[in-house]
């Protein structure tokens, strides 16, 4: 996954004894009136949550940690992990963007193969910004700086390349769904436009590329980050608004999900760019208080402890957004399940929906974890410590009884 500025929200994580994470029911008592209303409208699955994510009465699945990849003393060193995807066979492929490599490991964390590397030749990368796995187990990685998709077999054999944009790459393009011979759905990352002592919000098209053309169609428009532009001694600088909005995206196979952090809507697209599912509810974000803002500033200064004090204060003085986000994350599983992390449930509490809109269960992951991929009862997450040392952790999901 590409480099992003993490939304600074108060997050509650429940850690159980031993290797279990979760254990409990954190989304309220069962309320029949709060259960999802699932319908079909011209082939689009509509999921309406009458009371938002309250009153669903779901029991948490438990997470049993299987392995931690990149831990101290390991032969695998992770640096700027961009993505990770389970292969159909159960192995995990990790895009180690800092070295331009793809690492394939067993479910127990043992290294099977590594391939790629920094460079501009066939099978090399300037940077890896997304990683995708196809049904046949082949891998497709995207290099944003070269505007190129590269396909490998699971053991590292180079299968081919595809120039997505030509002659010049589109800056900060992020494929959500990628194929070597079919359509590609993509969005912008952080836009690179600048203002003059003002606040401006990014917008991004949802692009659809076809094999026949490097000029994309625009499927829809989505809002991204909000920035404050400030004059500094060296010119202009920009700072993301505290508690500000962002665009969330995740994709696998035939499903691409998008959501804006401050809007009560998750939309799922097919590879052709047609909407196939919507999850909607009515909710207004909790107002950001002075105390919230002061806590955010303290956390920001702590995160930038090695920076000069002037820089720390510049970033800590970022204007704040009026309300907290509604959504902290989304994830698409290899089975088409849609995972949503609503902030109304206190943070890293994920609610899972089947591709037909049915509720599955909920679970909690640690506060410092970013969900990367789900496949066949296993979840891969990226964790960072206070020094930004990265590890990828594989968990086995133990479903609650009755689910």
pLDDT of the chain, 403 residues: tens digit per residue: 433 333 333 332 333 333 334 444 445 588 999 999 999 999 999 999 999 999 998 888 999 999 999 977 777 889 999 999 999 999 999 999 999 999 999 988 899 999 999 999 999 999 999 999 999 999 999 999 999 999 999 999 999 999 988 777 787 899 999 999 999 999 988 766 666 768 888 899 999 999 988 889 999 999 999 898 877 666 677 888 999 999 999 999 999 999 999 999 999 999 999 999 999 999 999 999 999 999 988 888 887 777 777 777 777 778 899 999 999 999 999 999 999 999 998 767 899 999 999 999 999 998 879 999 999 999 999 998 877 889 999 999 998 875 4
Residues 76-112: b if buried by 16+ CB within 10 A, e if exposed: bebebbbbbbbbeeebbbbbbbbbbbbbbbebebeee
Residue 309 domain-assigned (yes or no): no
* Residues forming beta bridges with residue 379, ordered by sequence position: 374, 395
* CA–CA distance, 345 with 339 (Å, rounded to integer): 14
Q: Which residues contact 116 (CB under 8 A, 6 or more apart)?
A: 100, 101, 102, 123, 124, 125, 128, 141, 152
Sign of the Cα torsion 15, 20, 22, 24 reads negative
Strand pairing class (44-49; 275-281): parallel
- The CATH number of residue 270's host domain is 2.120.10.30
Identify which of 152, 162, 161, 175 has the alpha carbon closest to the alpha carbon of residue 122.
161
Does residue 301 fall inside a structural domain? no
Owning domain of residue 257: 20-287+322-398
- Domain membership flag for residue 313: no
Q: Is residue 316 part of a domain?
A: no
CB 264 within 8 A of CB 283: yes
Domain-located, residue 317? no
Asked, for residue 297, whether it belongs to a domain, the answer is no
The three-class DSSP label of residue 170 is coil
Q: Are strands 148-152 and 173-177 parallel, antiparallel or unpaired?
A: unpaired
Closest-CA residue to 375 (of 60, 19, 84): 84
**0.75 surpassed by pTM:** yes
Total count of domains within the chain:
1
- 306 belongs to a structural domain: no
Measured between alpha carbons, how far is 388 from 142 in angstroms, rounded to an integer?
Answer: 24
In a domain, 390, yes or no: yes
């Amino acid at each position: 996954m590409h480099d992003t500025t993490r939304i600074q929200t108060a997050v509650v994580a429940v850690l159980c004894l031993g290797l279990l994470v979760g254990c409990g029911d954190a989304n309220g008592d069962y309320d029949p009136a709060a259960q999802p209303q699932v319908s079909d409208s011209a082939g689009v699955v509509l999921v309406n949550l009458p009371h938002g994510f309250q009153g669903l009465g779901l029991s948490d699945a438990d997470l049993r940690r299987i392995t931690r990849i990149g831990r101290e003393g390991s032969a695998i060193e992770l640096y700027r992990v961009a993505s990770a995807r389970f292969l159909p066979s159960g192995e995990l492929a990790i895009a180690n963007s800092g070295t331009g490599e793809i690492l394939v490991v067993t479910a127990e964390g043992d290294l099977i193969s590594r391939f790629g590397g920094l460079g501009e030749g066939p099978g090399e990368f300037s940077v890896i910004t997304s990683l995708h796995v196809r049904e046949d187990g082949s891998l497709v990685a995207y290099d944003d700086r070269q505007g190129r998709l590269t396909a490998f077999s699971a053991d590292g054999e180079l299968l081919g390349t595809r120039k997505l944009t030509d002659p010049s790459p589109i800056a900060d393009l992020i494929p959500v769904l990628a194929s070597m011979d079919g359509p590609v759905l993509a969005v912008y990352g952080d836009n690179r436009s600048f203002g003059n002592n003002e606040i401006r919000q990014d917008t991004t098209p949802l692009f659809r590329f076809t094999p026949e053309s490097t000029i994309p169609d625009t499927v829809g428009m989505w809002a991204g980050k909000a920035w404050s532009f400030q004059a500094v001694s060296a010119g202009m600088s920009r700072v993301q608004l505290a508690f500000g909005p962002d665009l969330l995206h995740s994709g696998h196979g035939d499903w691409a999900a998008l959501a804006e952090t401050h809007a009560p809507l998750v939309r799922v697209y097919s590879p052709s760019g047609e909407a196939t599912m919507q999850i909607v509810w009515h909710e207004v974000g909790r107002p950001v208080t002075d105390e919230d803002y002061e806590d955010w500033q303290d956390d920001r200064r702590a995160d930038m402890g090695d920076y000069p004090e002037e820089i720390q204060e510049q970033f800590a003085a970022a204007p704040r957004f009026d309300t907290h986000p509604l959504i902290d994350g989304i994830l698409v599983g290899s089975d088409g399940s849609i995972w949503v992390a609503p902030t109304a449930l206190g943070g890293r509490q994920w609610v899972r929906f089947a591709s037909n809109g049915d509720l599955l269960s909920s679970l909690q992951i640690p506060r410092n974890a970013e969900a990367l991929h789900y496949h066949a009862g296993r979840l891969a997450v990226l964790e960072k410590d206070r020094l930004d040392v990265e590890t990828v952790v594989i968990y086995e999901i133990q479903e609650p009884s009755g689910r």
